[in-house]
Chain A
Amino acid sequence: MFETAININAATFGGSMVGRGPKWDRFDADGPKRNPATTNVKTERAVTSVDPDQTSKSMSDLLVRVGNQDQDAFRAVFDYFAPRLKAFLMGQGTSPQMAEEVVQETMVKIWRKADQYEPARAAASTWIFTIARNMRIDHLRKSNRPEPDMNDPAFVPDPEPLATETISQAQDSAQLYAAMAELSEDQRAVLKLAYFEEKAHPEIAEALGIPLGTVKSRIRLALKNIRSRIGDSE
């Protein structure tokens, strides 16, 4: 199980985030270091440094078990993801109460849809991210999120090679994690704002006090760096 894979890396502890929102322990290595005395596997901070490779694999396996209505696996998925989902939603400006409601709706959806989860196509975190995003839009905006339907006769299916090349697959999660950890502070800051605070690009520019063109080029560069690092390691 994933609890046994805990691997404390003191250098990655601590760190502060640009602006409001949750702390970024795993990726922000340049913030104030935590006192080693408080570093303890029982603290929640420690859980964030679970070996990403192991965690990704275990979470993927757990989700498959949830698809078979395994309640122990569901509890384990809840224990790992619910506090992260809550933090992620609060980072997007959602109140703690509202965040818990969205977490609840997301977890219920995970229970009901886990039999459709395909580990070969997406990491557990990717799949859960998309469900949480949709539940959040449902819940907060009361609006639809238009999506293509792969069963639609007008849908143009993937050519075969594409299906195996994506970086979204579970086995690539550790590479993705490593690539993201290597981003520059500037590049990470724009990505966080884009994903976390649900800010459109002009608002990101305002928040960071930089021109819109710079926001766009930083995002482009961040994604390019992620892609090239993943490409390099294959």
Chain B
Amino acid sequence: MTISHHPGEDLLLDYVAGSLAETWSLAVAAHLALCPICRRTVSELEAVGGELMSAVAPVPVEEDLYKSIVAATNAVHEDSVSSRPVTDSSGPNPILPEPLRSYLGGDVDSLEWRRLGLGAHQLPIPTGDEQTTARLLRIPAGRPVPTHSHGGLELTLVLSGAFSDVTGTYSRGDLQEADENIDHQPHAALGEDCICLAVTDAPLRFKSLTARMVQPLIGI
């Protein structure tokens, strides 16, 4: 598997600095699970962050801080056990990488997809971030995604199958960054359904009248 579309370095930097909101971070993290190259970039950016942190002029801490810390390390702690939900219902080769699988509570076969029209299905992904929406999309092989443009940024991570639009072909692990200037018409590739994670910071605007009329009803 060769990944040819990566997130921009500025997106990775925001992820590393901790300034990227949860929903965007979910798309970046799922890409990182599949992409050793971007994980290396992330390590580099973290090293830069560590160096910046070490270089700062120190600010004295309260005198009793060390004592409080020692007391806290001696206290019984419950958070040492991972609180991540167990999702072992998935097979040995899950389609959805972590952390995505935990967000959805299982792999693609166990999900309750909702119809989106034109044979496509979607599944909203609950996050703590209200400014953006994340959803899993399943587009039938060879079919188009309804034509749309967006009010802001859209990240699309392919997890299974592939899609193509004017900007290229995207398959498993590829991440597309699209903004309001791209008016694209993605088509799923032939052969298998295309499953992807789509994160948007504004509702998609569909172009056809029918799609626009059903849009409020299906929550996309």
Contacts and interface: CB of A to CB of B under 8 A. Distances in A.
A86 B59 contact: yes
- Counting chain A residues whose Cβ lies within 8 A of the other chain, the interface size class is 35 or more
Give the 9 A-B residue pairs with the shortest CB-CB distance, closest first: A83-B58, A125-B50, A148-B33, A126-B50, A129-B50, A154-B97, A149-B98, A146-B29, A168-B43
Interface of A: 22-27, 44-45, 47-48, 52, 55, 71, 75, 78, 82-88, 90-91, 96, 99-100, 103-104, 107-108, 111-112, 121-130, 132-134, 136-137, 142-149, 152-159, 162, 165-168, 172-173, 176-177, 180, 191-192, 194-196, 198-201, 216, 219-220, 223, 226-227
Interface of B: 1, 9-10, 13-14, 16-19, 22, 25-26, 28-30, 32-37, 39-40, 43-62, 65-66, 68-70, 72-73, 77, 80, 84, 92-99, 101, 103, 128-129, 173
Contacts of A201: 10, 14
B132 to A, nearest CB: 12
Given A143-B129, A168-B44, A78 B66 contact: yes
19 contacts: A24-B56, A25-B57, A44-B57, A48-B58, A55-B54, A88-B56, A128-B53, A132-B53, A146-B25, A146-B99, A148-B97, A149-B33, A152-B94, A155-B33, A155-B34, A167-B44, A194-B14, A198-B19, A201-B10
Contact of A145 (B22, B70, B93, B173): B22
Contacts of A154: 33-34, 93-98, 101
Nearest to B27: A146
